[in-house]
Structure 1
């Protein structure tokens, strides 16, 4: 299933949490920690296992097509690292996990044999999600999966709550975070 539009209307959004990660293997466990925290904050821990599994698959796919998959990447690979953006959107009765990357190749379900070691990620997403798809963004694509929330998410406070950015616009890079990552990488070498 693919879709060429955002899978929700902005007026129905109750909560939004998003974070950008360097497109490297460390983004997978780090994104799980981020999503676990967001779901806890939203009181939506009953769907946590499914959300974390789906996000792991989508982030892994994003890294595979746009990032560095080597456990010990070469320096020139690190200099070319892009970002993977993960957004969790809380709707009245569901959550949407979105993962952006810089590839414009749409995701494809693969037919794999019983003894294949990989290629089942989107099949898992399809089984766990209520619906899923992808859409093009400026500079790449977003792959999303929607899951029913059990029970429905609480109401968002009306005063002082920051609204999420437009859903078709990936979050901008956090310059301070990127400097800290670069400093850490420099120190490691």
Structure 2
């Protein structure tokens, strides 16, 4: 990615701003830097707005002939191993000045906003004419997506209680399996039978 550059050129008229913003978003997507899109597209938008205001027209509806007579503005995005730079060129050689906008003013907020969004910005006259205003941002790494841990269900605790004793089955040769009662159950039945027999004996006596 180091040293990659994208260019954008447009007539100095209002449509240059949203198209330049889209150009910046597309470049960031191609570089895998979508997470920087909010700051970079806003900087490109503000610098292009200033360039159009300085050299072109703010008229919304233009004929083809009017558009052909307008000067150009250009934007360039450059990315290195550590920084991303947004540059905007226009034909005016008048360098911009930072000024504090009035509370109810609709303009004059571009450079203060750029100052908040970038590491540094500056301007210089271009050798071929016009000027370049550029903003430098530190290259931010994309956010790490932590995979959701697969939570395993807790192990079922072994019960220490002995299960209820069930009758066991024994098979006699040549016959159907029969149920053999539990030993404790047999003892209770024998005692019950003894009591009943004792009562019968007493009645007979």
108, 115, 123: which one aligns with 1:119: 108
1:49 aligns with 2:38: yes
1:90 aligns with 2:95: no
54, 59, 83: which one aligns with 1:65: 54
Q: TM-score, normalised by structure 2?
A: 0.65
Q: TM-score, normalised by structure 1?
A: 0.70
Aligned length: 141
Q: Which residue of 1 aligns with 2:92?
A: 103
Q: 1:50 touches 1:128 (CA, 8 Å); kept in 2?
A: yes
Please identify the structure whose Cα radius of gyration is greater. Answer: 2
Q: RMSD value over aligned CA atoms?
A: 1.8
Alignment of 1:113-152 (within 5 A): 113-137=102-126, 138-151=128-141
Report how far residue 36 of structure 1 moved: 0.6
Q: Which residue of 2 aligns with 1:4?
A: none
Report how far residue 46 of structure 1 moved: 1.4
Q: 1:22 touches 1:83 (CA, 8 Å); kept in 2?
A: yes
- Extract structure 1 runs of 4+ deviating beyond 6 A: none
SS of equivalent to 1:81: coil
Q: 1:68 touches 1:77 (CA, 8 Å); kept in 2?
A: no
SS of equivalent to 1:51: helix
Identify unmatched segments of 5+ residues in structure 2. 143-205
Supply the distance in 1 between the matched residues of 2:42 and 2:57 (Cα, whole angstroms): 21
CA distances 1:132-154 after superposition (whole Å, capped 9, x unpaired): 001111110000001112118xx
Supply the distance in 1 between the matched residues of 2:60 and 2:98 (Cα, whole angstroms): 26
Which has the higher relative contact order, 1 or 2, with Cα contacts under 8 A spaced 6 or more apart?
1
